[in-house]
Amino acid sequence: MKTLTVIGGRELSGEVRIHGSKNAALPILFSSLLFSEAVEIANLPAITDVGAALALLSSLGVKVTKTGRDSILLDPSSARPAVCDPAVTGSLRGSLYLLGAAAGRLGELSLPHPGGCNFGARPIDLHLDVLRTMGLAISESERGVSVRGRPRGALFRFPAVSVGATVNAILAAVLAEGRTVLTGAAREPHVLDLIAFLRLAGARISTPSPGTVVIDGVPRLHGITYRVCPDMIEAGTYLLFAMAAGGSVTLRSAAPEQLAPILPLFSGMGARIGVGVDALSVFRKGRLRPVRVETAPYPGFPTDLQPQLTALACLADGESVICDPIFPTRFGYVSELRKAGAKIDAANGRALVAGGAKLTGAEMIAPDLRAGAALTLAALAGEGESTLARYDLIERGYADFCKTLGSLGARVRISDGVA
């Protein structure tokens, strides 16, 4: 198990190259199962979740060939239903996307339980409801979920916005017979990137209004090369790091328009943000102001930046209120932040952050990916040495994390700790 050591209290300055989006890359990779020809995916982030997705695809007979530094060729011509390794599906929430993709092409799959970040209940009823509405037979057991049959077009209204269930429905619908109309669907940039990718490969998908996706099934998808869109959560995380540590940071290869809905919130806290074509720059002017925010599906404030924002709010002058109705139990990291001096009360999906804390070095344990980033933020802003165990969880979703922080002037190192 790896540990990140941070000696805090240094400003960050310099440039960060934003990698391809984890949340776009995973559904795009799994959708290779739907193809009749090989497909090349570029701008893939070097994160362990991508490695896990590729391992699962290999186990289903997809031939994976590296074609460049961050690109691979996926040849699904020999794909067949097979037993997936429960240790891998258990590490990756995105493995759920195999249900929609496999149903679309292979006609059956038994999937051991999907895992992913452990921040409370993560039901899958909406995934199963929409797939059942498309005519698929689903069975659940203590070992996992099985899907069987050929999807048919259907009308489905999501009672709550779900990124994962929207993706699964799109994957099942692409090769289905007939038209599928989804309403109340997610419209996160990573969902739109999946749609753009599938359309380029010949899928007939339109989004006539926000939250509505219409998919007319096609007989086949043809091979293309596609670059995954930039990672908005990675970009948002580095913006928040720069706001916490001070200094001036520029993000390159970013997609500022993805973050546009939440930039006013950062500016309101005291960030000065410059926006270019594919770049963002940030520096903090003066003290940070407190914030009141509630997570919501896009274009709302993303639940994936909630922990990092809560950590930042510890440094603001005054009390902040941060609510996460999407995942009300996603505050498990607060007890770790308190070790660094944070004054936070969290209950019932709401954190009250006292602000004005003088953060100091602490021995912390990352409970999950984004919470790990939040604890790193506290360590960067705090005085003295912090250690962050379970650094491997951060590697699930941030490529070159330690190296990037080092290049910005942070004093950081990774060591192999005791498991």
For ligand UD1, the binding residues (CB under 6 A) are: 23, 93, 117, 122-127, 160-165, 186, 188, 297, 302-304, 326-327
Please confirm, yes or no, whether 117 is among the known catalytic residues.
yes
In whole angstroms, how close is the CB of 276 to ligand UD1 at the nearest point?
A: 25
**CB-nearer residue toward ligand UD1: 297 or 367:** 297
Distances (CA, A) of 295 to 224, 299, 349: 35, 10, 10
Degrees to nearest 5, angle at CA 12 with 268 and 404: 115
For residue 187, the tally of other CB atoms under 10 A from its CB is: 20
In whole angstroms, how close is the CB of 116 to ligand UD1 at the nearest point?
A: 7
Tallying the residues shown for the chain, one arrives at 419
**CB-nearer residue toward ligand UD1: 121 or 419:** 121
**CB-nearer residue toward ligand UD1: 198 or 373:** 373
DSSP letter at 304 equals G
**CB-nearer residue toward ligand UD1: 8 or 114:** 114
In whole angstroms, how close is the CB of 13 to ligand UD1 at the nearest point?
A: 29
Return the residue matching tokens 């996160």.
188
Is residue 21 within 8 A of residue 190, CB to CB? The reply is yes
**CB-nearer residue toward ligand UD1: 49 or 75:** 49
Write down the catalytic residue from 117, 229, 314, 402: 117
**Separation between Cα atoms, residue 106 and residue 129, nearest integer Å:** 20
**Separation between Cα atoms, residue 361 and residue 106, nearest integer Å:** 52
Dihedral over Cα of 182, 154, 83, 142: its sign: positive
Return the residue matching tokens 């006609």.
107
Q: In what order do the strands lie in the sheet with 108-112?
A: 108-112, 144-148, 137-141
In angstroms and rounded to an integer, the radius of gyration of the C-alpha atoms of the chain is: 21
In whole angstroms, how close is the CB of 242 to ligand UD1 at the nearest point?
A: 22
In whole angstroms, how close is the CB of 282 to ligand UD1 at the nearest point?
A: 22
Is residue 186 within 8 A of residue 161, CB to CB? The reply is yes
Distances (CA, A) of 366 to 201, 389, 402: 39, 6, 15
In whole angstroms, how close is the CB of 89 to ligand UD1 at the nearest point?
A: 14
How far is CA 218 from its chain centroid? Answer: 29
In whole angstroms, how close is the CB of 223 to ligand UD1 at the nearest point?
A: 28
User: Which residue number places its CB atom closest to ligand UD1?
Assistant: 164
Q: Which of 275, 247, 282 is nearest to 261 (CA)?
A: 275
**CB-nearer residue toward ligand UD1: 284 or 330:** 330
Say which residues have a Cβ less than 8 Å from residue 274's Cβ, sequence separation at least 6. Answer: 280, 281, 282
**CB-nearer residue toward ligand UD1: 5 or 258:** 258
In whole angstroms, how close is the CB of 166 to ligand UD1 at the nearest point?
A: 8
Distances (CA, A) of 15 to 69, 243, 280, 395: 20, 14, 10, 20
**Separation between Cα atoms, residue 246 and residue 249, nearest integer Å:** 9
DSSP letter at 337 equals H
**Separation between Cα atoms, residue 303 and residue 201, nearest integer Å:** 31
Distances (CA, A) of 374 to 92, 236, 306: 20, 12, 9
How far is CA 48 from its chain centroid? Answer: 13
**CB-nearer residue toward ligand UD1: 8 or 115:** 115
- List residues with catalytic annotation: 117
